[in-house]
Chains A and B, each alone.
Chain A
Amino acid sequence: EAQVTQNPRYLITVTGKKLTVTCSQNMNHEYMSWYRQDPGLGLRQIYYSMNVEVTDKGDVPEGYKVSRKEKRNFPLILESPSPNQTSLYFCASSLDRGDNSPLHFGNGTRLTVT
């Protein structure tokens, strides 16, 4: 089944403890992206990647890192999480940068930072 898989689904952590949220797609998509969803703010893009070893900042990149060493994987790294990073995170992918290709989303990771 074609899908985007994120892990974990739920994560509770403490301020400053490094964490990684994994994202993997099995559709050979070139484009991958991370979003955070907050009430009243919709989805905001954190980082995106046009292809392997190519990553760029989105609207809200502060406090996050990403890497794209392989085409299928696009992990999101929080080096020193803070409470304002408590949010619902989505990974998404599309065949190309998305002019005509719709995004496929994972089921989300709900992160709580205390």
Chain B
Amino acid sequence: AQSVAQPEDQVNVAEGNPLTVKCTYSVSGNPYLFWYVQYPNRGLQFLLKYITGDNLVKGSYGFEAEFNKSQTSFHLKKPSALVSDSALYFCAVRGLGGNKLTFGTGTQLKVEL
């Protein structure tokens, strides 16, 4: 069975500092990996995805994520955090050829002045 782990319920960072939101996964075969963001009272919005190719994936709003096959990780990063980045972030994985997208439990990012 495939799974996603987001080990931190909450991440706090000061505005202007780099941020990292961690994600590790377990899946049979090659993974398709996604990050979504959820703002209050809204549905999830797609940020970025890894399908194949370059291990560093760039997405919306200046976010990027690094795929590490040996560590089965797909951490979300941003060089300089903004207060407006404060939201709930979800990592998700699908196995090649699979119909099911499995989400992590989410990480609340809080960026403070």
Other than A43-B44, A99-B94, give 14 A-B pairs with Cβ distance below 8 A.
Answer: A4-B43, A42-B103, A42-B104, A42-B106, A56-B99, A58-B100, A90-B43, A90-B44, A92-B43, A98-B101, A102-B34, A103-B36, A103-B101, A105-B36
* A59–B1 CA distance with the chains assembled, in angstroms: 11
Task: Mark B67-109 against chain A: 1 for CB-CB distance below 8 A, else 0.
Answer: 0000000000000000000000010001011011101111000
Query: CB within 8 Å of A: which residues of B?
Result: 4, 32, 34, 36, 41-46, 49, 51, 90, 94, 96-97, 99-101, 103-106
Q: Are the C-beta atoms of B49 and A102 separated by less than 8 Å? A: yes
Q: Are the C-beta atoms of A107 and B42 separated by less than 8 Å? A: yes
Chain A residues lying within 8 Å of B46, measured Cβ to Cβ, are 102-104
Pick the contact of B105 from A42, A58, A92, A104 — CB < 8 Å? A42
Q: List 14 A-B contacts (CB under 8 A).
A: A4-B43, A33-B101, A40-B105, A43-B103, A50-B99, A58-B100, A92-B43, A92-B44, A98-B99, A100-B32, A100-B51, A102-B46, A103-B44, A108-B41
* A90–B90 CA distance with the chains assembled, in angstroms: 14
* A9–B103 CA distance with the chains assembled, in angstroms: 22
* A106–B101 CA distance with the chains assembled, in angstroms: 17
For A, the interface residue count at a CB cutoff of 8 angstroms equals 27
Task: Mark A18-56 against chain B: 1 for CB-CB distance below 8 A, else 0.
Answer: 000000000000000101000011111100101000001
* A33–B44 CA distance with the chains assembled, in angstroms: 13
- The residue in B41, B44, B103, B105 that gathers the most chain A C-beta atoms within 10 A of its C-beta is B44
Chain B residues lying within 8 Å of A108, measured Cβ to Cβ, are 41-43
A99, closest chain B residue (CB): B32
Chain A residues lying within 8 Å of B99, measured Cβ to Cβ, are 48, 50, 56, 97-98
Q: Shortest Cβ distance from A48 into chain B, in angstroms? A: 7
Q: Are the C-beta atoms of A45 and B100 separated by less than 8 Å? A: yes
Give residues of chain A (70-114) contacting chain B, Cβ–Cβ below 8 Å. Answer: 90, 92, 97-100, 102-108
Q: Are the C-beta atoms of A42 and B43 separated by less than 8 Å? A: no
Q: Are the C-beta atoms of B43 and A105 separated by less than 8 Å? A: yes
